[in-house]
Amino acid sequence: SAVISQKPSRDICQRGTSLTIQCQVDSQVTMMFWYRQQPGQSLTLIATANQGSEATYESGFVIDKFPISRPNLTFSTLTVSNMSPEDSSIYLCSATTGVGGGELFFGEGSRLTVL
């Protein structure tokens, strides 16, 4: 299994600012992902965080808005840039230690409110 810690757990931000969310896993994992959960909605995959290289973004998400880093096997960051109220969401880090079909572990999420 893997325990995932995210910081901050919640924050209130001003429009136009940027915030970086950190994700730390307690063991080496094969893959890490970032999801967004907008109020009352399901989880949407933002991108796959690739170790040592650029993240792979899903349709509708771009690097300029959501830059992601993954410098090693256990750590990743997601930045939400130039925030607007529409970015108010829970951002979830997830990771797996297996290959296809392996369990995806989730952090408790970072709840961002943009004023």
By CB under 8 A, name the binding residues for another protein: 4, 30-31, 33, 41-45, 48, 92, 94, 96, 98-104, 106-109
**Cβ at position 8, least distance to another protein in Å:** 15
* Nearest to another protein of 99, 115 (CB atom): 99
**Cβ at position 48, least distance to another protein in Å:** 7
* Nearest to another protein of 61, 81 (CB atom): 61
**Cβ at position 15, least distance to another protein in Å:** 26
- Count the neighbouring beta carbons within 10 Å of the beta carbon of residue 73: 16
